[in-house]
Amino acid sequence: MKNILIITVAGTSSRFSKSIGHDALKCIYQEENNPSILSIILEYSKTFFDKIIIVGGYKFEDLKQYINTRYNIPNIQLIYNEHYADYGSNYSLYLGLLEVFKTSDCQIVFAEGDLIVDKKSYLNVCNSTQSAVTATKDFISADKSVAFYKNADEFVRYIYDTQHEYLSVNEKFSFLANSGQIWKFTDINILKNILKNQKENDYKDTNLNIVQKYFEHNKSYKIITIEQWYNCNTVDDYREASKIFELPNEAE
């Protein structure tokens, strides 16, 4: 069975660009001797995955040049999301999965492209024999968290507030945590059925649209804790994470 990684980096990263004072593609931004977010993910991933799919959109030519000039990894494939400005992040995941479906026997790890996590936790997800959702040790805060819980039927439900003010759960739950925004999918047929029924309004949603539907149909999953986790919404987040992770500046 082949292992395939999907990384989505199509968004405009407006909060990150505002924090540094100019437009930038967050995933390839780096300072001094610190690695970029994308280089950390690829460093972890390059020997594990048979194929790495990166879905970009905003500043796609910058992304392409970055990959082509720094990496000699033949299994990396770039996909352009032409709707990065008018559709939601769900469409990037949709495009990545369409490419995955060209491989019949595979399992998938999906990681959002603005995360810096520790290698051990990341590889725990990659090596999982079950589908997996990830949780962090961070406090849940409406101003920055995507949270998830298990309801009475053991379904995974995700909650977030685009206004960054309040979160609410309107049903009984047995578990509540901050999402690590990395997932493992082991049943490709469930994903195929979900994509068959996607409508245009689904494309305009976040990637949690597909993710949550998957875990509504697959209760055989595990929850993996990410020990060190940074969601790099701003340059300060990136700088804080970079103090911890000692990695090569360039991929081999």
Render pLDDT for 212-225 as a digit per residue (tens, 0 to 9): 999 999 888 999 99
Q: What was the pLDDT predicted at 73?
A: 75
Q: What was the pLDDT predicted at 145?
A: 85
Confidence class for position 103, pLDDT limits 50, 70, 90: confident
In the predicted model, is pLDDT for residue 176 greater than 60?
Answer: yes
- Residue percentage of the chain with pLDDT more than 70: 97
Q: What was the pLDDT predicted at 106?
A: 94
Candidate from 25-34, 124-133, 182-191 with smallest mean pLDDT: 25-34
Please state, in angstroms and rounded to a whole number, the distance separating the CA atoms of residues 97 and 191: 8
In the three-class reduction of DSSP (H, G, I as helix; E, B as strand; rest coil), residue 144 is classed as coil
Q: What was the pLDDT predicted at 251?
A: 40
Q: Topology of 2-130+179-206+230-242 in CATH?
A: Spore Coat Polysaccharide Biosynthesis Protein SpsA; Chain A (3.90.550)
Angle at 75 between CA 74 and CA 81, to 5 degrees: 110
Sign (positive or negative) of CA dihedral 245, 49, 8, 61: positive
Q: What is the mean pLDDT of the chain?
A: 93
Residues contacting residue 91 through CB under 8 Å, at least 6 positions apart? 81, 83, 84, 203, 204
Phi first, then psi, for residue 209 (nearest 5°) are -55, -55
In the predicted model, is pLDDT for residue 109 greater than 50?
Answer: yes
Q: Are strands 76-80 and 147-151 parallel, antiparallel or unpaired?
A: unpaired
Confidence class for position 246, pLDDT limits 50, 70, 90: low
Q: Are 238 and 116 in contact (CB under 8 A)?
A: yes
Query: 27-39: per-residue pLDDT in tens?
Result: 999 998 789 999 9
In the predicted model, is pLDDT for residue 47 greater than 60?
Answer: yes
Provide the CB-side half-sphere exposure for 147 (13 A, CA): 23
Regarding predicted confidence, which is higher, 95 or 155?
Answer: 95
In the predicted model, is pLDDT for residue 248 greater than 60?
Answer: no
In the predicted model, is pLDDT for residue 191 greater than 60?
Answer: yes
The distance in angstroms from the start CA to the end CA of the chain is: 26
Q: Are 184 and 130 in contact (CB under 8 A)?
A: yes
In the predicted model, is pLDDT for residue 245 greater than 90?
Answer: no
Please state, in angstroms and rounded to a whole number, the distance separating the CA atoms of residues 158 and 69: 38
pTM for the model? 0.94
Candidate from 142-151, 164-173, 237-246 with smallest mean pLDDT: 237-246
Angle at 145 between CA 144 and CA 151, to 5 degrees: 160
Regarding predicted confidence, which is higher, 97 or 220?
Answer: 97
Alpha helix stretches (DSSP H) within 82-206: 89-100, 119-126, 188-196, 200-203
Angle at 16 between CA 11 and CA 22, to 5 degrees: 100
Regarding predicted confidence, which is higher, 46 or 48?
Answer: 48
In the predicted model, is pLDDT for residue 53 greater than 80?
Answer: yes
Q: Are 57 and 84 in contact (CB under 8 A)?
A: yes
Confidence class for position 164, pLDDT limits 50, 70, 90: confident
Q: Are 181 and 121 in contact (CB under 8 A)?
A: no
Alpha helix stretches (DSSP H) within the chain: 14-20, 37-45, 60-70, 89-100, 119-126, 188-196, 200-203, 208-217, 235-242
Q: Which residues pair with residue 134 across a beta bridge?
A: 224
Q: Are 57 and 11 in contact (CB under 8 A)?
A: yes
Phi first, then psi, for residue 10 (nearest 5°) are -80, -20
